[in-house]
Amino acid sequence: MENKRLHIIKATLINVCRFLLAAVFIFSGFVKAVDPFGSTYKIQDYLEAFGISAWFPSFFPLLGAIALSTLEFALGVMLFFGIRKGTATLLTLFLICFMTPLTLYLAIADPVSDCGCFGDVWILTNWETFTKNIVLLLAAFVAFKWRYLIIRFISPKSEWLASLYSVIFILILSIYCLIHLPILDFRPYRVGVNIREDMSIPPDAKPGVYESIFILEKNGERKEFTLDDYPDSTWTFVDVRTALKEKGYEPPIRDFCMKSLETGDDITAEVLDDKNYTFLLIAHRIEGADDSNIDLINEIYDYSVERGYAFYCLTSSPEDEIEQWKDKTGAEYPFCLTDDMTLKTIVRANPGLALIKDGTILKKWSNNEFPDEYVLTDSLDKLRLGEERSTDLHKIGWTLLWFILPLSLILGLDLFLVKRSARLAKENQRLINPLIKNKMRKNIVAGNWKMNKTLREGIEFVKELKEILAEDKPNCEVLVCTPFIHLASVATILEVSAIGVGAENCADKASGAYTGEVSAAMVASTGAKYVILGHSERRAYYGETAGILKEKVKLALSNGLTPIFCIGEVLAEREANKQNEVVYTQLADSLFDLSVEDFSRIVLAYEPVWAIGTGRTATSLQAQEMHAYIRSVIADKYGKEAAENTSILYGGSCNPSNAKELFGNPDVDGGLIGGAALKAADFKGVIDGFKA
Ligand code: PGA
């Protein structure tokens, strides 16, 4: 009970961590994809701050920005749906492990003022970013460590489709926003903003409070003082500096300034106060501007002259570059100098175009969508683009719809397929075995590691298996039977899981001076519930006789263990057609003096010795014939009900490719698996033999 409660708390915590990470990654990937140039500039800032920008080709920042947003978004979606938990949580952990020390450095050294994690949507200070990363690091660690507890919302069959769609969606979104402008604009210069108003400080706004810090010296010791604690004249003055004590009101726009190249005058106020339309061609570096649309730019300029609108080109390039542009393009429009960062912020294109009126931004275009003669058909006050508008909300709606709708379709399809295969599996079972409705016996797939795996390997195996089966629930009972030394650790790991644990053997004595032996009680004390007895290898190599096995079975039962009792003929016996006789004798000599109650606790495993580890499998028909025979023998001895309730497993080179056919037989209730139980993926393949 206590364990169960703990398990629920743990699972809840892990899933909270996973959703937190998913939300952060989806959000940050999305906002970066919406504004790829924004992230590109940020990466450039970083490379410059670290003095390594020369190491990378010029396209690197843009490529890096798109790759980062795609990676973040895809990881977020994977975490959200529980897709490829191992890979997703490991990659998340790596990413955050890389980011956390980097953000600590940024917080301490402050080479770039805002980290850019969430684009312009949510600007964090470097210390806030570092704190955020510490929280995410903890969440990523928890999610990775207990990833098998992450609940999945999509079946493994459809997960690739959801992941692929998310990647395609985010890539298309990035490319769309590169070619056009960001569909969501969180910058100070978004459409609808009045630059003049956003530059002004309201009269009632609180100004910043500054104070003087005095640096004084006494007996070689230097100390800082303010006016409030200014010391006596025994201290000598060294220096004074001004520090910001309390942050005051800062207007949203602080850096907009247009300096005419011709006159050298600041014409900002004149342009912003103009009640008529003004076109601003914005090319933060004119030498890098895309010149494929120069004719169109010149046409827009001609149009503005014709209609009496102002037209300026704003750049931060030096004069000689501007002259070169003029020569190359025949530009006649006036140029103004504006800060590079400001221009990059106004429009994410080089060149871009903005239309303003009375200080308000009415529209922005990237160079791929400049208005042409078919748009500029009349004076602007008669056209829709001359009207004041706020950000296009419908674009956001469409974008979300393009993501949510197809993804919901994928999820719906997945649900339909999962339900259909469950229904088919049920029908199949019913067709295969008419007794299925009354079938009380369990279907079991048990792994027999034999003398394989070190303790560490065994532990890794069961952790992996547990995770795989938590993601994709088996349609049968699953057991792992391990060497003695693994039992306690494996049983602890599998305690809160649907996987059972068994030993491969136990002693034929209850306790005492039997050096090297392990009793049934000891096996049971580890938490194991099963024990394989009578395996052909033990009969052949360790001389286990029917009499010895009889003792072992009794001890196992009296210690609460379920024996998986193995029977089967060797090749010569099969060739002499003596298999039934051999199997009958093995059953009768070791089991048939059990009471019907005790016998009901036995699981049988028919393992033709010639098929064990040889790659030769009994045919499905051979297996069914023998299993039916064994069941008839039990029916004779213990009655039909007991026979119907006994699980009879098949063993001998059973693997993922033949399991389904073997398990499809009405009397085959699962398998005892050797070689194919040593790798989790193979073992899962065998377990899936019970799936449709
Ligand atoms: P195998 O072994 O699957 O490697 O043939 C089965 C067994 O001996 O239990």
Q: Is 448 in the pocket of ligand 1 (CB under 6 A)?
A: yes
The answer to whether residue 611 sits within a structural domain is yes
Is residue 571 located within the same domain as residue 658? yes
CA 649 to ligand 1 center in whole angstroms:
12
Is residue 21 located within the same domain as residue 136? yes
CATH code at position 651: 3.20.20.70
Q: Which atom of ligand 1 is nearest to the CA of 655?
A: 3
Q: Are 620 and 573 in contact (CB under 8 A)?
A: no
Residue of 62, 58, 55, 47 whose CA lies nearest to 111: 47
Residue 351 dihedral angles phi and psi, to the nearest 5°: -90, 160
Catalytic residue, from 535, 569, 573, 627: name it.
535
Is residue 121 located within the same domain as residue 200? no
Element (H, E) at 236: strand 236-246
The answer to whether residue 634 sits within a structural domain is yes
pLDDT digit string (tens) for 25-58? Answer: 999 999 999 999 999 988 888 888 888 888 989 8
Burial 347-382 (b: 16+ CB within 10 A, else e): bbbbbbbbbbbbbbbbbbbbbebbbeeeebeeebee
CA 611 to ligand 1 center in whole angstroms:
8
Q: Which atom of ligand 1 is nearest to the CA of 676?
A: 3
Q: Is 651 in the pocket of ligand 1 (CB under 6 A)?
A: yes
First and final CA of the chain: distance in angstroms? 34
pLDDT digit string (tens) for 455-466? Answer: 999 999 999 999
Q: How far is CA 586 from CA 621, 633, 634, in A?
A: 22, 12, 12
Residues of the chain with pLDDT under 70: 1-4, 7, 113, 121, 148, 388-392, 421-422, 425-439
Judged by phi (left if over 0) then psi (alpha if -120 to 50, else beta), residue 51 lies in left
Give the CA dihedral 587, 590, 596, 600, nearest 10 degrees. -70
The answer to whether residue 333 sits within a structural domain is yes
pLDDT for the residue 427: 66
Is residue 101 located within the same domain as residue 201? no
What does the angle CA 104 – CA 106 – CA 110 come to, to the nearest 5 degrees? Answer: 135
Cα–Cα distance between 516 and 334 in angstroms, integer?
97
Q: Is 286 in the pocket of ligand 1 (CB under 6 A)?
A: no
Q: Which atom of ligand 1 is nearest to the CA of 654?
A: 3
Pick the last residue of a domain from 150, 179, 208.
Answer: 179
Those residues with Cβ within 8 angstroms of residue 338's Cβ, 6 or more apart along the chain or in another chain: 256, 257, 258, 259, 314, 315, 316
Is residue 74 located within the same domain as residue 7? yes
CA 653 to ligand 1 center in whole angstroms:
6
Is residue 155 located within the same domain as residue 212? no
Q: Which atom of ligand 1 is nearest to the CA of 612?
A: 5
Q: Are 192 and 388 in contact (CB under 8 A)?
A: yes
Strand order in the sheet with 277-283: 259-260, 335-337, 310-315, 277-283, 352-357, 360-366
Is residue 172 located within the same domain as residue 211? no
Is residue 450 located within the same domain as residue 355? no
Q: What crossing angle do the helices spanning 85-109 and 60-81 adopt, rounded to 10°?
A: 130
Catalytic residue, from 477, 486, 607, 627: name it.
607
Cα–Cα distance between 106 and 402 in angstroms, integer?
37
Q: Is 654 in the pocket of ligand 1 (CB under 6 A)?
A: yes
Q: How far is CA 366 from CA 323, 527, 556, in A?
A: 23, 68, 79
Q: What crossing angle do the helices spanning 36-49 and 60-81 adopt, rounded to 10°?
A: 120
Q: Which atom of ligand 1 is nearest to the CA of 652?
A: 5
Q: Is 502 in the pocket of ligand 1 (CB under 6 A)?
A: no
Is residue 523 located within the same domain as residue 659? yes
Pick the last residue of a domain from 155, 179, 203.
Answer: 179
Q: Are 590 and 565 in contact (CB under 8 A)?
A: yes
The answer to whether residue 412 sits within a structural domain is no
Cα–Cα distance between 646 and 158 in angstroms, integer?
37
259-260 and 335-337 strand pairing: antiparallel
Q: Which domain holds residue 515?
A: 440-690
Write the DSSP assignment of 289-349 as a string of letters. S--TTHHHHHHHHHHHHHHT-EEEEEE-S-HHHHHHHHHHH---S-EEE--HHHHHHH-SS
CA 676 to ligand 1 center in whole angstroms:
8
CA 444 to ligand 1 center in whole angstroms:
15
pLDDT for the residue 390: 59
The answer to whether the pTM exceeds 0.95 is: no
Copy the structure tokens of residue 302.
């001609």
The answer to whether residue 428 sits within a structural domain is no
Cα–Cα distance between 669 and 690 in angstroms, integer?
10
Those residues with Cβ within 8 angstroms of residue 658's Cβ, 6 or more apart along the chain or in another chain: 617, 620
Is residue 641 located within the same domain as residue 524? yes
Q: Using CB atoms within 10 Å of the CB of residue 104, give its burial: 0 to 12 exposed, 13 to 18 middle, 19+ buried.
A: middle
The answer to whether residue 187 sits within a structural domain is no
Pick the last residue of a domain from 154, 179, 204.
Answer: 179
Those residues with Cβ within 8 angstroms of residue 189's Cβ, 6 or more apart along the chain or in another chain: 195, 253, 345, 346, 347, 354, 361
Neighbours of 540 (CB within 10 A): 11
pLDDT for the residue 435: 43
Cα–Cα distance between 636 and 588 in angstroms, integer?
12
Q: Which atom of ligand 1 is nearest to the CA of 672?
A: 9
Task: Give catalytic status of residue 535 as yes or no.
Answer: yes
Q: Is 652 in the pocket of ligand 1 (CB under 6 A)?
A: yes
Q: Is 252 in the pocket of ligand 1 (CB under 6 A)?
A: no
Cα–Cα distance between 433 and 443 in angstroms, integer?
13
The alpha carbon dihedral of 52, 55, 58, 59 has a sign of negative
Mutate which of 444, 448, 533, 564 for ligand 1? The one with the most ligand atoms within 8 Å of its CB, which is 448
Residue nearest ligand 1's atom 1 by CA: 674
Residue nearest ligand 1's atom 3 by CA: 674
Cα–Cα distance between 120 and 39 in angstroms, integer?
9
CA 531 to ligand 1 center in whole angstroms:
15
Q: Is 613 in the pocket of ligand 1 (CB under 6 A)?
A: yes
CA 503 to ligand 1 center in whole angstroms:
15
CA 492 to ligand 1 center in whole angstroms:
25
Q: Is 536 in the pocket of ligand 1 (CB under 6 A)?
A: no
Q: How many domains does the chain have?
A: 3
CA 606 to ligand 1 center in whole angstroms:
11
Is residue 356 located within the same domain as residue 219? yes
Give the CA dihedral 292, 296, 300, 301, nearest 10 degrees. 60
Those residues with Cβ within 8 angstroms of residue 637's Cβ, 6 or more apart along the chain or in another chain: 588, 592
Mutate which of 533, 653, 662 for ligand 1? The one with the most ligand atoms within 8 Å of its CB, which is 653
CA 526 to ligand 1 center in whole angstroms:
24
Those residues with Cβ within 8 angstroms of residue 275's Cβ, 6 or more apart along the chain or in another chain: 357, 358
Q: How far is CA 617 from CA 221, 651, 663, 690, in A?
A: 89, 9, 13, 18
Q: Are 465 and 501 in contact (CB under 8 A)?
A: no
Is residue 475 located within the same domain as residue 608? yes
Q: Which atom of ligand 1 is nearest to the CA of 566?
A: 9
pLDDT for the residue 154: 87
The answer to whether residue 184 sits within a structural domain is no
Q: Is 609 in the pocket of ligand 1 (CB under 6 A)?
A: no
Q: Is 607 in the pocket of ligand 1 (CB under 6 A)?
A: yes
The answer to whether residue 420 sits within a structural domain is no
Q: Is 182 in the pocket of ligand 1 (CB under 6 A)?
A: no
